């Protein structure tokens, strides 16, 4: 690099054919100018590298790579490359010059966007990506600020705003002529993390191998932002955003887009595992134009040059299906068992109500038979107290007893009257089973932080937290197991002797998302 290097200024001529007109923008390693191509009189965007860039070998390599990759693409929605090279110590690249605003600006100013506008922009973006992916090129840094929208001229009869995809600086060539493209492939080895955190796919974050589906993940985030004006995994720092990419499920779109074709497309694009995502950009476009099916059938990968995971995908799908079936069976068994227990408890309570009252009625005639006269009943009581006076007359016995026990004649009369009224105990026993039935069960309320954890009672799945269940009252403890991806399993013992309400804070655990 020459020691007298200087940044171009308006009026300077680069490589004898580009006259600098004005500076358009500046970054850490480069400056972009609007220039006029001498002889043709057309405007171009002239990208140049600053002196600091030459201290970073990979920056220079990316500059060359972007020029080479764009030169292989010819699509109306991808910025066109006219020329690139070096003028003395200045690296430059001349690309198509367009005037407009970025999609990021549009989202900030107008989101949530109308459905018609979203279809217009996404249709062009997906067309450009489908073309690039067919040519083996993955953008890897797709975001609203790299999507330019320029106003079309009415006479052209095209869309109101034309999409241009920019900045292929960290793009990756995933297939093509090995001999001719080795230099490009070595610049993006597995394990290299490149991109913008808000739009990076999980496999890119962990340094795993990436393919065209990393661009489709970014499409899902951009689509969510266009319809809501917010990011689906927003957080306070870039590292926190990446953690949410790895462990949080994609949120559904709010009304009126919940369960719409837009929502379905977002969910398919934001699957954590690449082999679970929608296959191509063209397929995303089809999803946007149709209502989502009631049951999603995930298509298997067909590109054997990129994926060799068919066996793993099939095994994981079978495992998920088996777990789902077992969970459903467990819930059914618990429900049936609970119903049977409730019915049996009700039957036992009814049997106690029917049998108990007749026993009281049958014993009453034997204990206190109805006497023909009140005097005879009194005489029998006296005979029991004085067995030696069997030959005495009833009147004599009455006169003997009267001075010492004047209240005894009234007590037998009261007892005799009470034994003749059995309906009252029957009414009480008929109400008792309801009280007893309520006392036979207790309520267990269980919450976790975070929520949506899988919960089992004695090995039987009961749902995801928060859960609330009625269980038989017992002195025996219930083993409650709580599990959630990314957190340590928790096991607690609960004795269902009374209503229980408990909140359990789960401990974060490191996870490895990809093998």
CA dihedral 231→232→237→243, nearest 10 degrees, is -160
Domain match, 111 and 256 both? yes
Instruction: Show the low-confidence residues of the chain (pLDDT under 50).
Output: 1-2, 175-192, 292-311, 353-365, 372-404, 406-407, 409-421, 423, 425-431, 433-437, 513-515
Contact status, residue 431 vs residue 421, Cβ threshold 8 Å: no
Tell me, yes or no, whether 157 and 293 share the same domain.
Answer: yes
pLDDT given for residue 253 in this prediction: 95
Token pair in block for residue 347: 């039957």
Give the number of other CB atoms < 10 A from CB of residue 415.
12
478 has which bridge partners?
A: 494
User: In angstroms, how far is CA 187 from the centroid of its own chain?
Assistant: 36
Residue 8 lies in domain: 1-97
- 434 among annotated binding-site residues: no
Do residues 174 and 216 both lie within one domain?
A: yes
Is 348 within the bounds of a domain? no
How far apart CA 140 and CA 213 sit, in angstroms, is 10
Dist CA 167 CA 70 (whole Å): 9
Do 431 and 447 fall within a single domain?
A: no
Does 115 lie in the same domain as 93?
no
How open is the CA angle 46-51-57, to the nearest 5 degrees? Answer: 95
Residue of 316, 295, 195 lying closest to 245 (CA atoms): 195
Residue 134: per-residue pLDDT:
94
pLDDT at 167: 81
Q: 251: which DSSP letter? A: P
Q: CA 94 to CA 84: how far, in whole Å?
A: 6
Tell whether 182 and 261 lie within a shared domain: yes
Q: Which of 130, 141, 167, 263 is catalytic?
A: 141
The Cβ of residue 402 has, within 10 Å, a number of other Cβ atoms equal to 11
Question: What is the per-residue pLDDT for 5?
Answer: 61
Here the CATH number for the domain that contains residue 153 is 1.10.510.10
CB 35 within 8 A of CB 46: yes
Domain annotation covers residue 321: no
Task: At 247, list the tokens.
Answer: 């462990």
Contact 462/445 with Cβ under 8 angstroms?
no
Q: Are residues 83 and 129 in the same domain?
A: no
Q: Token pair of 303, please?
A: 């590109």
pLDDT tens, residue by residue, 125-164:
999 999 999 999 999 889 999 999 997 655 555 557 899 9
Closest of 449, 109, 122 to residue 285, by C-alpha: 122
The pLDDT assigned to 108 comes to 95
Q: In this structure, is residue 316 part of a structural domain?
A: no
Q: In terms of domains, do 43 and 146 share one?
A: no
Q: Say if 446 falls within a structural domain.
A: yes
pLDDT of 186? 34
Q: What CA–CA distance (Å, rounded) separates 219 from 215?
A: 6
- DSSP, collapsed to helix, strand or coil, labels residue 401 as helix
Six-digit token string for 483:
């599990």
Shared domain for 405 and 367, answered yes or no, is yes
**For residue 244, with 0-12 CB atoms within 10 Å meaning exposed, 13-18 middle and 19 or more buried, which class applies?**
middle
How far from the centroid of its chain's Cα atoms is residue 83's Cα? 47
372 with 301, same domain? no
Q: Rounded to an integer, what distance in angstroms lies between the CA atom of residue 95 and that of residue 82? A: 5
Residue 226 and residue 118 in contact, taking contact as beta carbons nearer than 8 Å: yes
Q: What is the CATH number of the domain that holds 460?
A: 2.60.40.10
Is there a single domain that holds both residue 304 and residue 251?
yes
pLDDT at position 436, please? 47
User: What's the N-to-C CA distance of the chain in angstroms?
Assistant: 44
Asked if residues 140 and 204 have their Cβ atoms less than 8 Å apart, the reply is yes
Nearest-angstrom CA–CA distance, 164 and 128: 8
Handedness of CA 220, 224, 227, 231 (dihedral sign): negative
Residue 265, classed as helix, strand or coil, is helix
Q: What is the pLDDT of residue 284?
A: 96
Give me 353's structure tokens.
């109500």
Please identify, among 73, 97, 121, the residue that sits at the C-terminal boundary of a domain.
97
Is 141 catalytic? The answer is yes
Residue 259 carries which DSSP code? T
- Whole-angstrom Cα distance, residue 167 to residue 404? 120
Task: Say which CATH number the domain at 61 has.
Answer: 3.30.200.20
CA 79/CA 66 separation, integer angstroms: 11
- C-alpha closest to that of 122 among 7, 237, 289: 289
Determine the Cα–Cα distance for residues 171 and 136; give it in Å rounded to an integer. Answer: 10
pTM: 0.53
Cα angle for residues 205, 208, 210 (degrees, 5° grid): 90
- Asked if 260 and 373 sit in the same domain, the reply is no
Count of domains forming the chain: 4
- pLDDT for 10: 92
């Amino acid at each position: 690099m020459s020691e007298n290097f200087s940044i171009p200024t308006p009026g300077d001529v680069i490589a004898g054919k580009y006259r600098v007109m004005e500076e358009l923008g500046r970054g850490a390693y480069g400056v972009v100018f609007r220039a006029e191509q001498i002889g043709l009189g057309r405007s171009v965007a002239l990208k140049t590298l600053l002196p600091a860039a030459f201290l970073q070998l990979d920056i220079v390599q990316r500059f060359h790579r972007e020029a080479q990759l764009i030169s292989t693409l010819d699509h109306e929605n991808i910025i066109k490359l006219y020329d690139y090279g070096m003028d003395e110590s200045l690296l430059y690249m001349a690309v198509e010059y367009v005037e407009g605003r970025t999609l990021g600006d549009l989202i900030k100013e107008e989101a949530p966007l109308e459905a018609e506008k979203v279809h217009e922009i996404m249709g062009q973006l997906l067309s450009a990506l489908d073309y690039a992916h067919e040519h083996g090129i993955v953008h890897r840094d797709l975001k609203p600020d790299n999507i330019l929208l320029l106003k079309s001229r009415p006479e052209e009869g095209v869309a109101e705003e034309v999409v241009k995809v920019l900045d292929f600086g960290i793009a990756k060539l995933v297939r093509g002529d090995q001999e001719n493209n080795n230099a490009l492939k070595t610049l993006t080895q597995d394990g290299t993390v490149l991109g913008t955190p808000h739009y990076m796919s999980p496999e890119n974050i962990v340094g795993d191998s990436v393919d065209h589906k990393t661009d489709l993940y970014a499409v899902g985030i951009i689509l969510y932002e266009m319809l809501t004006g917010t990011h689906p995994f927003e957080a306070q720092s870039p590292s926190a955003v990446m953690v949410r990419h790895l462990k949080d499920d994609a949120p559904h779109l709010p009304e009126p887009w919940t369960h719409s074709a837009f929502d379905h497309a977002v969910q398919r694009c934001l699957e954590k595992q690449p082999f679970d995502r929608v296959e191509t950009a063209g397929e995303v476009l089809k999803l946007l134009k149709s209502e989502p099916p009631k049951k999603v059938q995930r298509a298997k990968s067909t590109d054997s040059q990129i994926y060799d995971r068919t066996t793993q995908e099939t095994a994981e799908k079978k495992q998920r299906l088996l777990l789902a079936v077992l969970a459903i069976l467990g819930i059914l068994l618990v429900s049936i068992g609970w119903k049977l227990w409730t019915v049996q408890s009700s039957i036992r309570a009814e049997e106690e109500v029917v049998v108990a009252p007749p026993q009281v009625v049958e014993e009453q005639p034997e204990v206190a038979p109805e006497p023909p006269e009140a005097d005879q009943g009194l005489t029998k009581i006296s005979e029991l107290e004085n067995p030696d006076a069997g030959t005495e007359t009833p009147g004599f016995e009455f006169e003997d007893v009267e001075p010492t026990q004047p209240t005894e004649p009234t007590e037998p009369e009261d007892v005799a009257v009470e034994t003749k009224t059995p309906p009252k105990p029957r009414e009480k026993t008929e109400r008792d089973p309801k009280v007893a039935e309520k006392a036979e069960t207790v309520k267990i309320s269980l919450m976790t932080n975070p929520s949506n954890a899988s919960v089992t009672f004695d090995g039987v799945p009961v749902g995801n937290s928060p859960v609330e269940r009625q269980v038989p009252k017992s002195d025996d403890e219930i083993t409650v197991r709580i599990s959630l991806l990314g957190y340590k399993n928790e096991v607690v013992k609960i004795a269902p002797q009374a209503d229980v309400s408990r909140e359990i804070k789960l401990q974060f655990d490191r996870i490895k998302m990809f093998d």
